[in-house]
């Protein structure tokens, strides 16, 4: 039987692989909203403005919107799941 650390790492890697396959290395807009569980883009925008987004978000030169890495989102999701069990 795997220990908890291996299981946590497996979950994080699986989530990251799913996010990378679905969205690529960067999430933005609707994909970021959906992955983090915000009910709307406006809710995500407000969270960004209030510095309440649970993962690092950043801007890119000559691009509109805010971005987050799929890896950061996967790590946060795995952590939230592990806190619940």
Q: How confident is the model at residue 6 (pLDDT cuts 50, 70, 90)?
A: low
pLDDT in tens, 22-67: 999 999 999 999 999 999 999 999 999 999 999 999 999 999 999 9
Number of domains in the chain: 1
Q: What is the pTM of this model?
A: 0.87
| Residue 13 structural domain | 4-84
For position 48, what pLDDT does the model report?
96
Please write down the HEC assignment for all residues of 57-68.
Answer: CECCCCCCCCEE
**Is it the case that residue 1 has pLDDT exceeding 50?**
no
């Amino acid at each position: 039987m795997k220990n908890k650390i291996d299981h946590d790492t497996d979950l994080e890697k699986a989530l990251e692989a799913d996010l990378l396959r679905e969205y690529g290395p960067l999430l933005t807009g609707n994909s970021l909203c959906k992955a983090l569980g915000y009910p709307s883009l406006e809710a995500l925008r407000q969270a960004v403005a209030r510095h309440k987004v649970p993962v690092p978000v950043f801007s890119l030169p000559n691009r509109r919107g805010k971005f987050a890495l799929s890896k950061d989102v996967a790590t946060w999701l795995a952590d939230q799941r592990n806190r619940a069990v």
